[in-house]
Chain A
Protein backbone atom coordinates (compact mmCIF):
# COMPACT_ATOMS: atom_id res chain seq x y z
CA UNK A 1 0.00 0.00 0.00
CA UNK A 2 2.79 2.38 0.97
CA UNK A 3 4.78 1.48 -2.16
CA UNK A 4 1.94 2.06 -4.56
CA UNK A 5 1.10 5.33 -2.81
CA UNK A 6 4.61 6.53 -3.37
CA UNK A 7 4.40 5.51 -7.02
CA UNK A 8 1.23 7.54 -7.37
CA UNK A 9 2.95 10.60 -5.94
CA UNK A 10 5.91 10.16 -8.26
CA UNK A 11 3.59 9.74 -11.20
CA UNK A 12 1.77 12.98 -10.40
CA UNK A 13 5.08 14.86 -10.19
CA UNK A 14 6.47 13.16 -13.25
CA UNK A 15 3.39 14.08 -15.33
CA UNK A 16 3.69 17.66 -14.14
CA UNK A 17 7.35 17.78 -15.20
CA UNK A 18 6.53 16.37 -18.62
CA UNK A 19 3.79 18.95 -19.05
CA UNK A 20 6.16 21.70 -17.91
CA UNK A 21 8.78 20.58 -20.43
CA UNK A 22 6.16 20.55 -23.17
CA UNK A 23 5.06 24.08 -22.28
CA UNK A 24 8.67 25.34 -22.37
CA UNK A 25 9.47 23.45 -25.55
CA UNK A 26 6.42 24.87 -27.25
CA UNK A 27 7.34 28.41 -26.15
CA UNK A 28 10.92 28.00 -27.41
CA UNK A 29 9.72 26.73 -30.76
CA UNK A 30 7.28 29.58 -31.03
CA UNK A 31 10.04 32.08 -30.13
CA UNK A 32 12.36 30.56 -32.66
CA UNK A 33 9.72 30.78 -35.40
CA UNK A 34 8.90 34.38 -34.47
CA UNK A 35 12.56 35.27 -34.82
CA UNK A 36 12.99 33.47 -38.12
CA UNK A 37 9.81 35.01 -39.58
CA UNK A 38 10.93 38.47 -38.47
CA UNK A 39 14.37 37.96 -40.01
CA UNK A 40 12.86 36.82 -43.29
CA UNK A 41 10.56 39.83 -43.43
CA UNK A 42 13.38 42.19 -42.48
CA UNK A 43 15.60 40.67 -45.22
CA UNK A 44 12.80 41.22 -47.71
CA UNK A 45 12.44 44.84 -46.58
CA UNK A 46 16.24 45.22 -46.75
CA UNK A 47 16.21 43.85 -50.31
CA UNK A 48 13.61 46.48 -51.20
CA UNK A 49 15.81 49.18 -49.61
CA UNK A 50 18.76 47.86 -51.64
CA UNK A 51 16.81 47.86 -54.90
CA UNK A 52 15.61 51.42 -54.28
CA UNK A 53 19.16 52.46 -53.39
CA UNK A 54 20.43 51.12 -56.73
CA UNK A 55 17.63 52.94 -58.55
CA UNK A 56 18.34 56.18 -56.66
CA UNK A 57 22.07 55.80 -57.30
CA UNK A 58 21.48 55.51 -61.04
CA UNK A 59 19.20 58.56 -60.93
CA UNK A 60 21.84 60.49 -58.97
CA UNK A 61 24.56 59.45 -61.42
CA UNK A 62 22.44 60.53 -64.40
CA UNK A 63 21.55 63.79 -62.73
CA UNK A 64 25.19 64.67 -61.97
CA UNK A 65 26.35 63.65 -65.45
CA UNK A 66 23.55 65.32 -67.35
CA UNK A 67 24.07 68.57 -65.44
CA UNK A 68 27.77 68.44 -66.28
CA UNK A 69 27.22 67.43 -69.91
CA UNK A 70 24.64 70.22 -70.26
CA UNK A 71 27.03 72.77 -68.77
CA UNK A 72 29.87 71.61 -71.04
CA UNK A 73 27.64 71.68 -74.12
CA UNK A 74 26.79 75.26 -73.24
CA UNK A 75 30.47 76.12 -72.88
CA UNK A 76 31.16 74.64 -76.34
CA UNK A 77 28.21 76.49 -77.86
CA UNK A 78 29.31 79.75 -76.21
CA UNK A 79 32.80 79.33 -77.58
CA UNK A 80 31.52 78.55 -81.07
CA UNK A 81 29.24 81.59 -80.93
CA UNK A 82 32.15 83.74 -79.75
CA UNK A 83 34.30 82.52 -82.65
CA UNK A 84 31.51 83.00 -85.21
CA UNK A 85 30.80 86.51 -83.85
CA UNK A 86 34.47 87.31 -84.07
CA UNK A 87 34.53 86.26 -87.74
CA UNK A 88 31.36 88.20 -88.47
CA UNK A 89 33.04 91.25 -86.87
CA UNK A 90 36.08 90.65 -89.08
CA UNK A 91 33.81 90.49 -92.13
CA UNK A 92 32.06 93.70 -91.05
CA UNK A 93 35.41 95.46 -90.76
CA UNK A 94 36.34 94.32 -94.25
CA UNK A 95 32.98 95.46 -95.61
CA UNK A 96 33.40 98.88 -93.98
CA UNK A 97 36.64 99.28 -95.86
CA UNK A 98 35.39 97.83 -99.13
CA UNK A 99 35.65 101.19 -100.87
CA UNK A 100 39.41 100.69 -100.89
CA UNK A 101 39.18 97.36 -102.70
CA UNK A 102 39.84 97.12 -106.45
CA UNK A 103 36.43 95.85 -107.58
CA UNK A 104 34.46 98.30 -105.44
CA UNK A 105 32.57 100.11 -108.18
CA UNK A 106 31.56 96.84 -109.82
CA UNK A 107 30.19 95.72 -106.46
CA UNK A 108 28.21 98.94 -106.02
CA UNK A 109 26.79 98.65 -109.54
CA UNK A 110 25.72 95.09 -108.89
CA UNK A 111 24.08 96.03 -105.58
CA UNK A 112 22.29 98.98 -107.16
CA UNK A 113 21.10 96.88 -110.09
CA UNK A 114 19.74 94.19 -107.74
CA UNK A 115 17.90 96.83 -105.68
CA UNK A 116 16.33 98.50 -108.72
CA UNK A 117 15.30 95.11 -110.12
CA UNK A 118 13.75 94.23 -106.76
CA UNK A 119 11.43 97.25 -106.63
CA UNK A 120 10.37 96.59 -110.24
CA UNK A 121 10.45 100.11 -111.69
CA UNK A 122 13.00 102.25 -113.46
CA UNK A 123 11.54 105.36 -111.80
CA UNK A 124 13.56 104.71 -108.69
CA UNK A 125 15.50 106.66 -106.13
CA UNK A 126 18.79 104.95 -105.43
CA UNK A 127 20.62 105.96 -102.27
CA UNK A 128 24.21 104.86 -101.90
CA UNK A 129 26.59 105.37 -99.01
CA UNK A 130 29.90 103.76 -98.10
CA UNK A 131 32.69 104.54 -95.71
CA UNK A 132 35.72 106.28 -97.21
CA UNK A 133 34.32 107.15 -100.62
CA UNK A 134 34.31 110.44 -102.36
CA UNK A 135 31.08 111.69 -103.88
CA UNK A 136 32.68 111.82 -107.27
CA UNK A 137 33.43 108.11 -107.26
CA UNK A 138 29.88 107.20 -106.38
CA UNK A 139 28.45 109.75 -108.78
CA UNK A 140 30.02 107.72 -111.55
CA UNK A 141 27.36 105.14 -110.78
CA UNK A 142 24.68 107.38 -112.38
CA UNK A 143 25.14 106.26 -115.98
CA UNK A 144 24.86 102.65 -114.91
CA UNK A 145 21.34 103.20 -113.51
CA UNK A 146 18.13 103.07 -115.57
CA UNK A 147 17.33 106.28 -117.37
CA UNK A 148 14.53 107.41 -115.00
CA UNK A 149 16.40 106.63 -111.81
CA UNK A 150 17.65 109.25 -109.39
CA UNK A 151 20.95 108.77 -107.59
CA UNK A 152 21.43 110.09 -104.07
CA UNK A 153 24.93 109.82 -102.62
CA UNK A 154 24.88 109.76 -98.83
CA UNK A 155 27.67 111.32 -96.77
CA UNK A 156 27.78 108.41 -94.37
CA UNK A 157 27.65 104.67 -94.89
CA UNK A 158 24.14 103.23 -95.10
CA UNK A 159 23.32 100.98 -92.12
CA UNK A 160 26.84 101.60 -90.77
CA UNK A 161 28.57 99.16 -93.11
CA UNK A 162 27.53 100.77 -96.36
CA UNK A 163 25.26 99.75 -99.18
CA UNK A 164 22.42 100.73 -101.45
CA UNK A 165 18.72 101.38 -100.84
CA UNK A 166 16.30 101.68 -103.75
CA UNK A 167 12.75 102.96 -103.50
CA UNK A 168 9.98 103.87 -105.92
CA UNK A 169 9.05 107.51 -106.38
CA UNK A 170 6.43 107.43 -103.59
CA UNK A 171 8.80 105.71 -101.25
CA UNK A 172 6.20 102.98 -100.73
CA UNK A 173 8.29 100.19 -102.15
CA UNK A 174 11.75 100.04 -100.67
CA UNK A 175 14.48 97.48 -101.12
CA UNK A 176 17.33 97.72 -98.69
CA UNK A 177 20.45 96.26 -100.23
CA UNK A 178 22.89 97.48 -97.61
CA UNK A 179 25.54 95.06 -96.39
CA UNK A 180 23.74 94.88 -93.04
CA UNK A 181 20.44 94.01 -94.73
CA UNK A 182 22.17 91.42 -96.92
CA UNK A 183 23.76 89.90 -93.82
CA UNK A 184 20.35 89.71 -92.16
CA UNK A 185 18.84 88.05 -95.21
CA UNK A 186 21.66 85.56 -95.47
CA UNK A 187 21.97 85.04 -91.74
CA UNK A 188 21.62 81.26 -91.59
CA UNK A 189 23.62 80.74 -94.80
CA UNK A 190 26.35 82.99 -93.43
CA UNK A 191 26.51 81.20 -90.10
CA UNK A 192 26.68 77.77 -91.69
CA UNK A 193 29.38 78.94 -94.12
CA UNK A 194 31.49 80.27 -91.23
CA UNK A 195 30.82 77.17 -89.16
CA UNK A 196 31.74 74.80 -91.96
CA UNK A 197 34.88 76.78 -92.78
CA UNK A 198 36.15 76.94 -89.19
CA UNK A 199 34.79 73.76 -87.64
CA UNK A 200 34.37 71.64 -90.75
CA UNK A 201 30.70 71.03 -89.95
Chain B
Protein backbone atom coordinates (compact mmCIF):
# COMPACT_ATOMS: atom_id res chain seq x y z
CA UNK B 1 0.00 0.00 0.00
CA UNK B 2 1.33 3.37 -0.97
CA UNK B 3 1.62 6.18 1.51
CA UNK B 4 -1.13 8.11 -0.28
CA UNK B 5 -3.48 5.12 -0.08
CA UNK B 6 -2.75 4.78 3.62
CA UNK B 7 -3.57 8.42 4.30
CA UNK B 8 -6.73 8.08 2.23
CA UNK B 9 -7.81 5.01 4.23
CA UNK B 10 -7.14 6.81 7.52
CA UNK B 11 -9.19 9.82 6.39
CA UNK B 12 -12.07 7.48 5.45
CA UNK B 13 -11.85 5.67 8.77
CA UNK B 14 -11.90 8.94 10.71
CA UNK B 15 -14.93 10.02 8.73
CA UNK B 16 -16.64 6.76 9.72
CA UNK B 17 -15.67 7.38 13.32
CA UNK B 18 -17.07 10.93 13.22
CA UNK B 19 -20.30 9.58 11.79
CA UNK B 20 -20.57 7.03 14.58
CA UNK B 21 -20.21 9.83 17.15
CA UNK B 22 -22.61 12.16 15.30
CA UNK B 23 -25.21 9.38 15.08
CA UNK B 24 -24.83 8.80 18.80
CA UNK B 25 -25.35 12.52 19.46
CA UNK B 26 -28.49 12.50 17.34
CA UNK B 27 -29.82 9.46 19.20
CA UNK B 28 -28.96 11.09 22.53
CA UNK B 29 -30.90 14.16 21.47
CA UNK B 30 -33.89 11.95 20.62
CA UNK B 31 -33.60 10.21 24.00
CA UNK B 32 -33.72 13.61 25.76
CA UNK B 33 -36.64 14.82 23.63
CA UNK B 34 -38.58 11.67 24.45
CA UNK B 35 -37.70 12.13 28.13
CA UNK B 36 -39.13 15.66 28.05
CA UNK B 37 -42.41 14.28 26.65
CA UNK B 38 -42.42 11.45 29.23
CA UNK B 39 -41.84 13.95 32.02
CA UNK B 40 -44.93 15.94 31.07
CA UNK B 41 -47.02 12.78 30.66
CA UNK B 42 -45.87 11.38 34.03
CA UNK B 43 -46.55 14.69 35.78
CA UNK B 44 -49.98 14.96 34.20
CA UNK B 45 -50.85 11.37 35.16
CA UNK B 46 -49.91 11.97 38.80
CA UNK B 47 -51.82 15.26 38.95
CA UNK B 48 -54.86 13.76 37.20
CA UNK B 49 -54.90 11.00 39.78
CA UNK B 50 -54.64 13.59 42.58
CA UNK B 51 -57.53 15.52 41.05
CA UNK B 52 -59.65 12.35 40.87
CA UNK B 53 -58.86 11.64 44.52
CA UNK B 54 -59.77 15.22 45.43
CA UNK B 55 -63.14 14.90 43.67
CA UNK B 56 -63.72 11.61 45.46
CA UNK B 57 -62.82 13.05 48.88
CA UNK B 58 -65.17 16.01 48.36
CA UNK B 59 -67.96 13.85 47.06
CA UNK B 60 -67.62 11.44 49.99
CA UNK B 61 -67.54 14.34 52.47
CA UNK B 62 -70.74 15.72 50.93
CA UNK B 63 -72.51 12.36 51.13
CA UNK B 64 -71.40 11.80 54.74
CA UNK B 65 -72.37 15.32 55.77
CA UNK B 66 -75.79 14.93 54.17
CA UNK B 67 -76.25 11.65 56.04
CA UNK B 68 -75.33 13.40 59.30
CA UNK B 69 -77.67 16.23 58.38
CA UNK B 70 -80.41 13.64 57.88
CA UNK B 71 -79.77 12.44 61.42
CA UNK B 72 -80.11 16.02 62.64
CA UNK B 73 -83.48 16.14 60.82
CA UNK B 74 -84.73 12.99 62.51
CA UNK B 75 -83.48 14.21 65.92
CA UNK B 76 -85.34 17.45 65.31
CA UNK B 77 -88.53 15.60 64.35
CA UNK B 78 -88.26 13.66 67.60
CA UNK B 79 -87.75 16.83 69.62
CA UNK B 80 -90.71 18.49 67.88
CA UNK B 81 -92.87 15.47 68.73
CA UNK B 82 -91.67 15.80 72.33
CA UNK B 83 -92.67 19.48 72.36
CA UNK B 84 -96.14 18.60 71.09
CA UNK B 85 -96.52 15.92 73.74
CA UNK B 86 -95.38 18.31 76.48
CA UNK B 87 -97.70 21.00 75.14
CA UNK B 88 -100.73 18.71 75.18
CA UNK B 89 -99.89 17.41 78.67
CA UNK B 90 -99.10 20.77 80.31
CA UNK B 91 -101.10 23.29 78.31
CA UNK B 92 -103.82 23.78 80.95
CA UNK B 93 -101.34 23.99 83.79
CA UNK B 94 -99.28 26.55 81.86
CA UNK B 95 -102.35 28.68 81.13
CA UNK B 96 -103.35 28.51 84.83
CA UNK B 97 -99.92 29.56 85.99
CA UNK B 98 -99.70 32.34 83.41
CA UNK B 99 -103.07 33.74 84.47
CA UNK B 100 -102.06 33.55 88.13
CA UNK B 101 -98.86 35.43 87.40
CA UNK B 102 -100.62 38.15 85.41
CA UNK B 103 -103.38 38.58 87.97
CA UNK B 104 -101.32 38.29 91.14
CA UNK B 105 -98.00 39.57 89.91
Contact = CB atoms under 8 A, between A and B. Distances in A.
Interface of A: 1-2, 5, 8-9, 12-13, 15-17, 19-21, 23-24, 26-28, 30-32, 34-35, 38-39, 41-43, 45-47, 49-50, 52-54, 56-58, 60-61, 64-65, 67-69, 72, 75-76, 79-80, 83, 86-88, 90-91, 94-95, 98, 107, 114, 179, 182-183, 186, 189-190, 193-194, 197-200
A84 to B, nearest CB: 9
A145 to B, nearest CB: 19
B73 A68 contact: yes
The B contact surface, by secondary structure, is: helix
Given A35-B42, A53-B54, A197-B93, A9 B13 contact: yes
Contact of B87 (A20, A24, A52, A83): A83
Task: Count chain A CB atoms within 10 A of each CB in B18, B29, B64, B102 and give the residue with the most.
Answer: B102
Nearest to B23: A20
Contact of B14 (A12, A56, A72): A12
Contacts of A179: 102-103
Interface of B: 1, 6, 9-10, 13-14, 16-18, 20-21, 23-25, 27-29, 31-32, 34-36, 38-40, 42-43, 46-47, 49-51, 53-54, 57-58, 60-62, 64-66, 68-69, 72-73, 75-76, 79-80, 83, 86-87, 90-91, 93-95, 97-99, 101-103, 105
Contacts of B6: 5
24 contacts: A9-B9, A12-B17, A13-B20, A16-B17, A17-B20, A19-B20, A19-B21, A27-B29, A31-B34, A41-B43, A42-B43, A50-B57, A53-B57, A56-B54, A57-B58, A57-B61, A60-B65, A61-B65, A87-B94, A91-B99, A179-B103, A186-B105, A190-B101, A197-B93
A64 B62 contact: yes
Given A16-B18, A68-B73, A61 B61 contact: yes
A39 B61 contact: no
Contact of A80 (B24, B25, B66, B83): B83
Given A2-B1, A30-B32, A199-B83, A75 B76 contact: yes
A58 B13 contact: no
Contacts of B102: 91, 95, 179, 182-183, 186, 190
Contact of A64 (B29, B60, B66, B80): B66
A50 B54 contact: yes
Nearest to B75: A72
B52 to A, nearest CB: 10
Given A19-B24, A69-B72, 15 more contacts: A5-B6, A13-B16, A13-B17, A13-B20, A20-B21, A31-B34, A38-B39, A39-B42, A57-B58, A68-B73, A72-B76, A87-B95, A190-B101, A194-B97, A197-B93
